[in-house]
């Protein structure tokens, strides 16, 4: 029996339509472009090392250990890249891992909404989830955060299920913990453990012996996930185990991480209004309408507790990035689900109007910009895009045009024919973000790829290499660049920061002027940059 029985029947929306939209949203943009800077580039570098016969216990990046994260996501990506290698380039096949984990995240977030709010509400939760602005770009990239998101969603569903089916719930919680831990480290086990311990204090639904049994089963299920890889890593390389645990995990809280510190306690609070739109205002409305005299009902207690725990832990870390906020979205979407039936007509109509006008305007501008880059008219619009991507030449591609036109036609039909209801604003938000992302992932994908890919630059450098040389050293070369040099050109550079090598060639990266070699006896044989990028500059030198 669902926890919350007093909510009215949800607005009717066909489950097949929701599944189709979520599937389309998930698949768009996963294939058809190179690994993009910065996160995709180094992420695929780790996958490529596995595909080249690398060690799965010690993640490797261009010949060097890279201990920021455990290897589970990269192993999944490598398996999919190998499975689809006959159909897709390796980087596209690897990116399917993000689609897999995002699909799991949507399914289990929807199941959590159904379990807490009742039958028919899970599909609304899923729609709210894909409508969130901060979700769409990041979850279509080749990054481990998608697996972390899936782990959080799975564990939350297990906690929601715990009062009703504790044994199954324990297995689900433990599996979610394991996926999150083996993809990102200690963060998810920490936040789920704190949430699980707080729930009995907030709601009697979890204040039972059955819940204790559930947590014991969850611990037993998670134990292999939490121990096998760390033990193997420690046995192989104790110093790398220390680097992973104390520097790249706990160091993000204590400040001992070598990553650039950006401690801003209010960072996530400031980005949530756009990152979590429209889930955040809907969740706040649900909390406002809740009868607090009755205490915390389970459907409020679980998502609110999880959201606050995640927010507090993220806000105390020494590094802050928008991608780290992804785990905040599943509990927010679940919390926002109740607002659908309680929104006043004016608020529901405002959300609907805002969604229709905003996404129609953005889609219109994208179509106009695409036409301008292809034809040069209107000249002002073509010039605006040319300034942002100098040297880019647009080409007509019917294979991308057809799906873009189909998406736009569906949008127009739905906007004109869907009946007014409490759900209309959420449907239009989810479909609108799918439309905009679909246009970016089809007719605009070559333009974006030219802006974010290193392929052309690396091919240019490769053409300037002498016929014979012993090795290539590097200085100030970033992880994404080292990874893609390995992938696109088969080049593994030897970093000067680690070893004073005696290579005949040296590649230097600079973020200011074109770099010069600080020592005599070297001549520059190549210089380059990515198209339109004036911040990352590269020069290749040869020793006389």
- Per-position DSSP letters for 476-490, written without gaps between them: S--HHHHHHHHHHH-
pLDDT of residue 210: 96
Residue with tokens 């999150």: 180
Half-sphere exposure of 463 (CA within 13 A, CB side): 8
Q: Give the whole-angstrom CA distance, residue 102 versus residue 151.
A: 10
pLDDT in tens, 398-436: 889 999 999 999 999 998 887 777 788 899 999 999 999
**Other beta carbons within 10 Å of 465:** 16
Under 8 Å between Cβ of 421 and 11: yes
pLDDT of residue 258: 59
Residue 4 pLDDT > 50? no
Average pLDDT, integer, range 128-134: 96
pLDDT of residue 3: 38
Tokens read off for 264: 């801003």
The SS3 of residue 496 is coil
Write down the pTM of the prediction.
0.94
Task: Provide the greatest CA pair distance for the chain.
Answer: 81
pLDDT of residue 70: 95
Tokens read off for 383: 């010039």
Beta bridge partners of 541: 506, 524
Residue 11 pLDDT > 70? no
Mean pLDDT across the chain: 91
pLDDT of residue 326: 97
Q: Give the whole-angstrom CA distance, residue 460 versus residue 539.
A: 12
The SS3 of residue 63 is coil
CA nearest neighbour of 336 among 71, 112, 164: 112
pLDDT of residue 1: 37
Beta bridge partners of 526: 540
Under 8 Å between Cβ of 145 and 310: no
**Other beta carbons within 10 Å of 176:** 29
In 415-519, DSSP assigns E strands to 472-475, 494-495, 505-510
Percent of all residues in the chain with a pLDDT value above 70, rounded to a whole number: 95
Tokens read off for 523: 């001549």
In 126-219, DSSP assigns E strands to none
Q: Give the whole-angstrom CA distance, residue 173 versus residue 108.
A: 11
């Amino acid at each position: 029996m669902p926890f919350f029985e007093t909510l009215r029947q949800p607005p009717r929306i066909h489950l097949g339509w929701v599944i189709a939209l979520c599937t389309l949203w998930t698949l768009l943009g996963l294939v058809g472009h190179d690994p993009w800077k910065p996160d995709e580039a180094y992420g695929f570098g780790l996958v490529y090392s596995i595909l080249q016969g690398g060690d799965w216990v010690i993640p490797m990046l261009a010949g060097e250990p890279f201990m920021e994260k455990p290897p589970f996501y990269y192993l999944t990506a490598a398996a999919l890249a190998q499975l689809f290698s006959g159909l897709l380039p390796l980087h596209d096949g690897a990116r399917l891992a993000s689609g897999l984990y995002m699909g799991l995240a949507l399914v289990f977030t929807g199941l959590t909404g159904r379990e807490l709010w009742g039958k028919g509400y899970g599909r609304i939760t899923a729609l709210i989830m894909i409508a969130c602005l901060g979700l769409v770009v990041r979850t279509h990239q080749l990054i481990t955060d998608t697996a972390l998101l899936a782990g959080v969603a799975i564990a939350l569903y297990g906690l929601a299920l715990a009062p009703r089916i504790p044994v199954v719930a324990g297995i689900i919680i433990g599996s979610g913990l394991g996926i999150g831990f083996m993809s990102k480290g200690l963060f998810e086990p920490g936040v789920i453990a704190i949430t699980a311990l707080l729930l009995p204090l907030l709601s009697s639904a979890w204040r039972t012996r059955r819940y204790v049994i559930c947590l014991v089963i969850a611990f037993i299920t998670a134990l292999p996930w939490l121990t096998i890889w760390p033990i193997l890593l420690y046995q192989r390389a104790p110093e790398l185990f220390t680097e992973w645990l104390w520097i790249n995990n706990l160091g993000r809280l204590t400040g001992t991480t070598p990553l650039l510190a950006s401690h801003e306690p209010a960072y996530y609070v400031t980005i949530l209004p756009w990152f979590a739109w429209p889930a955040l205002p809907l969740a706040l409305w649900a909390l406002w309408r809740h009868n607090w005299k009755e205490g915390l009902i389970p459907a409020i207690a679980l998502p609110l507790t999880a959201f606050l725990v995640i927010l507090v832990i993220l806000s105390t870390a020494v590094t802050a990035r928008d991608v780290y906020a992804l785990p905040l979205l599943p509990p927010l979407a679940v919390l926002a689900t109740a607002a659908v039936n309680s929104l006043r007509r004016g608020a529901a109509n405002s959300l609907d109007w805002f969604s229709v006008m905003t996404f129609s305007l953005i889609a219109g501008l994208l179509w106009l910009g695409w036409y301008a880059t292809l034809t040069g008219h209107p000249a002002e619009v073509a010039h605006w895009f040319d300034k942002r991507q100098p040297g880019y030449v647009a080409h007509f591609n019917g294979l991308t045009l057809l799906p873009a036109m189909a998406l736009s036609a569906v949008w127009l039909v739905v906007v004109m024919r869907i009946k007014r209801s409490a759900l209309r604003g959420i449907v239009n938000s989810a479909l609108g973000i799918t439309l905009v992302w679909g246009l970016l992932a089809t007719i605009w994908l070559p333009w974006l790829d030219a802006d974010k890919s290193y392929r052309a630059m690396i091919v240019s450098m490769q053409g300037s290499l002498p016929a014979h040389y012993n090795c290539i050293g590097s200085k100030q070369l970033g992880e994404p660049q080292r990874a893609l040099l390995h992938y696109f050109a088969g080049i593994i550079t030897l970093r000067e920061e680690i070893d004073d090598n005696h290579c005949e060639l040296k590649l230097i990266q600079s973020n200011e002027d074109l770099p010069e070699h600080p020592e005599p006896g070297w001549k520059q044989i190549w210089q380059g940059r990515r198209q339109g990028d004036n911040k990352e500059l590269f020069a290749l030198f040869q020793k006389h």
